[in-house]
Structure formats: structure tokens, C-alpha cells
Structure 1
Amino acid sequence: MLGGTAEARALAAALSERGVPVVSSLAGRVARPRLPVGEVRVGGFGGPDGLAAWLAEQRVGTVVDATHPFAERISASAVAATRTAGVPLLRLERPGWQASPGDDWHWTASLPEAAGLLPELGRRVFLTSGRQGLPAFAHLDDLWFLIRCVDPPEPPLPRRHELLLSRGPYQVEAEIGLLRTHRIEVLVTKDSGGSMTAAKLTAARELGLPVVLVRRPAPAGAPETVTSVDAVLARLPRVD
């Protein structure tokens, strides 16, 4: 299983309870990741060919891609590698967020496009799009950013910013307090989906703040995509 998400950890636990041997592969981009139940492998495979060779060597029966919705390269590698190795592939991807009455959402196709919208939406920005995309905002010298991510980011960063190292899940009241304390005027995030970080969207709605959301990349082409752990379990053979 290609993991790193809450869904991947839940699936690993469910498979372990069923007696299904599972190896969870983590990319290694987070310094202290939450580890799933069972065997864990950290680091890359050397591209699709390396992953295909590993699948054959380990005699893997099924690959589940349960990576983050924005992990484009890993998902594309999984599609190519499983085709080469002749191994079934199933994509587990949480549903995206849906707007509710009162939301002021502005959809964009990329982080640079999101950065281009900010000057007309607010001067104090809560940026929760992940540490790897921060250079897209580094040129916005007239804006102030509260940047929240799990691990310390590498430069370039926006000149005027405060860094908040934190990991979800988050609660609505705490998020409202954070936005008020820092006088935030606009929120920027990716459409990651799930409940662990959705509280910021509710908080923005409660405070009447605009939200800039980056759309998910196009699907990598997995033969089948499901949205729940139960759906994965229903498609995998049971080990008695």
C-alpha cells in the first residue's frame, strides 16, 4: 500500500485484523510521520521501473494507492509500475470538500493562480497549502502570511510571515480563535478533503472570510477509484 494518509492507516489496521499481510510505503517527506499498523517501508523506489521490480520481487498480489490527493507523481508511478508488473491496482481517495451555504470559495487550478488572487481578497493570509508550494507566494511582499505546516519549510518564503508548525486534527473553535488572533482576511488551501483539517473551512464561513481553494490534479489513471476503506475491503480477497 502506498500510504501516508489517515485512510491508509485505517486500511492497514483493518487488513491486519483480517490477517492480510500488508506493507505500507511512505514517501519520507514528513520528519515524524504517523506510522500505520504492520510492516512499513520509507523512501522511494527509483521510479516506476524500480517499483515494478520491487512488486515482482516481493510477489505483491494487489497495490492500493492511498496517497494524498495531490501526490501526483507517486500515483502516476503506481499506474505505470502495476501495468508493467501485471499487478492489480486500486486507488483509495477521500472525497473532496463541498461548499455549504455561506461559503465564499474561489477555485483555482494551481498555487501560482491562487497567489494571483490574493491581493484583491485580503492583506493578511492564512496559508495551509503545504510547505512544498510556498515559493509560489514568496513574491507577495505587500501581504502578511500565517503559514501552517507540519515540518519547517525551505526558502524562498514570503518576506512577511509567521510560521506555525502544527499537525491536525483541528477543532472549529480553536480555528476561529486562530483566525481572530491573527486578524486573518483570507484562507488559502488545497482541496485535500477529509475531516482532519476541514475545521478551518467552517471557521472561515463563520467569520465571513473568503477561501481560495486549489483544485485536485487530474486522476493518474488507476483502473478503479473508491472513496472508503470499506469499499477497498469489499474488493480484496479475504484471508482465512
Structure 2
Amino acid sequence: MPILILGGTGEARELAAALHRDNVAVISSLAGRVARPRLPVGEVRIGGFGGPQRLAEWLGANAIDAVIDATHPFAERISASARAATARAATPLLRLERPGWSERPGDRWTWVDDLDGAAALIPALGARVLLTTGRQGLPAFAEVDGAFFLVRCVDPPDPPLPRDHELLLDRGPYTLQGELALIDGHALDLVVTKDSGGALTEAKLDAARERGLPVIVVRRPPRSADAAVATVAEAHAWALAHVATGGGAPPPHAG
């Protein structure tokens, strides 16, 4: 009976590899929103499920033993669907979510609740923006006047886009020296990002701190009180214990 990993993150790939080494049957599911995704080891499914009811049916039809939601911290829809589907199918669910970023001495961060809030703040904080919020949220910045945007994302975005922009198609991990060169080369004076967490893209925050730039950070969406862990090691241990016992109680929320 396989474990389903809802993936697309580095943590999901790392977990799939660890379970594969332990001979645990794993199916990794990717949303299919990235043209050339980094694939995990083992069986991979690409594409949506069609909502909670169909996901619940798929879980039953494929005899899924447990679900580990290791999607991006801002992937609200699939996480909500997973909660509803696993409840209907009586399938154990664990949330694996990397910790968010924390401010350090010298940081000039302003926190906002959503992308519209970030867009509204830009005119007061900067005129040349490194925008790293992902391609799906770019319409929120389409009406911002008086600012240049260096838009960095993995795949080409669909319009509408910021009026004055340059598109940079790139994928982490990024380095401090590379981010400093990007800031200096484009004379950037503001960074706008989501609180994605993790080391792969954290260098932009280090570079902003070193150059004294303000940063607008979009808070993560609130989560329900799922059973959750913050590290791959914890999720790996939970999965192994679940397989060994035939379904033990998940750990408490990691907060």
C-alpha cells in the first residue's frame, strides 16, 4: 500500500528518495504547473485530481495508505483539497512544511498579508524592484506606476504583467554573490517576495541586508490545525512508523 506525497518542493523530492531507499512504496504527485519539473525518484503522477471528491476516490482506488502534503507553503488549494479528501477517505494525512524566514539584525522588512498589499506599498519603498513572488501572482502588480520590475520566475508568465519590466527566467538555488551582482547590475532598490522559507532562495534576503534594501514579505496563508512537521527527517520517521505499525497516530502540530 503506497504513500502518496503531494510534492513539487525540494523537501518532497528528498522525502521520496529517503523512503525509496527504505523500500517504502511511494507515489509522488506534481501539479504540472512547471514545464520542466525536477522529478523525484520512484513513481510520479503529474496533473490535478479534480477536487476533493475525486481525490478521495483516487485514494481509495489506488489503496493509498497515507498522504504526506509536502507542497509549497503557498499552495493553498491542493492542501485544502487534501484535507477534505483524506477526511472523506479516512486516510492519515501529514503536512510537511519548511519553516518560514526570520528577520535578522540589519533587515528592513515590511510584512503584508497578500500580493495586493505588497503592490500598494511599492511606490513608497522603491522604484526598481526585484519581484520573486511567482508567475501566477503577477497580475497584482500590473497597475503599479512609476516602478521598474525585474521579474524572476521559472517559466514564462501569462499577461497581465507589470508595465515596465524585464523578465528573468531562472531557478534556484541562488548564491549571495549572484544576488548581489543582480542587485548592483540592475540598480535595484527593493525586493518583493513571499515567505517561502528554505535555503534555496534565501540569498536574496542576505543580499538585501548587505545592500541595506527594504524587503516586502508576503505572509503565508493561515493553515488549519493539521498534523504537521517541519523537517524531512520528521516526515520520514512518521512514514516509517506508519508503515511498521499499520497506521499509528500522527505527531502533534509542529507550530
TM band (smaller chain): over 0.9
Match of 1:230 in 2: 233
How many angstroms apart in 2 are the aligned matches of 1:174 and 1:123? 21
Alignment of 1:10-159 (within 5 A): 10-159=14-163
- 1:142 is displaced (CA, Å) by 1.3
Offset from partner CA, 1:18-73 (integer Å, 9 cap, x none): 00000000000000000001000000111000100000011111100000000000
How many angstroms apart in 2 are the aligned matches of 1:18 and 1:177? 42
Amino acid at match of 1:178: L
- 1:141 is displaced (CA, Å) by 2.8
How many angstroms apart in 2 are the aligned matches of 1:113 and 1:233? 37
Aligned length: 239
How many angstroms apart in 2 are the aligned matches of 1:66 and 1:137? 28
Could you say what secondary structure the match of 2:58 adopts? helix
The structure 1 residue matched to 2:193, chosen from 178, 183, 189, is 189
Identity in percent: 62
Amino acid at match of 2:28: S
The structure 1 residue matched to 2:211, chosen from 194, 207, 213, is 207
Match of 1:179 in 2: 183
Return 5+ residue gaps in structure 2 as ranges: 245-255
Could you say what secondary structure the match of 2:72 adopts? coil
Q: Tell me, yes or no, if the aligned pair for 1:55 and 1:85 is still in contact at 8 Å.
A: yes
- 1:173 is displaced (CA, Å) by 0.6
How many angstroms apart in 1 are the aligned matches of 2:193 and 2:64? 36
Q: Tell me, yes or no, if the aligned pair for 1:79 and 1:220 is still in contact at 8 Å.
A: no
Q: Tell me, yes or no, if the aligned pair for 1:76 and 1:221 is still in contact at 8 Å.
A: no
Kindly tell me: are residues 156 and 164 of structure 1, through their superposed partners in 2, closer, same or farther at Cα, counting changes over 3 Å?
same
Amino acid at match of 2:228: T
- 1:220 is displaced (CA, Å) by 4.0
- Name segments (4+ residues, structure 1) moved above 6 Å: none
- 1:221 is displaced (CA, Å) by 4.0
Amino acid at match of 1:66: A
What TM-score do you get using the length of structure 1 for normalisation? 0.98
Could you say what secondary structure the match of 2:240 adopts? coil
Match of 2:251 in 1: none
Q: Tell me, yes or no, if the aligned pair for 1:146 and 1:164 is still in contact at 8 Å.
A: yes
How many angstroms apart in 2 are the aligned matches of 1:79 and 1:177? 42
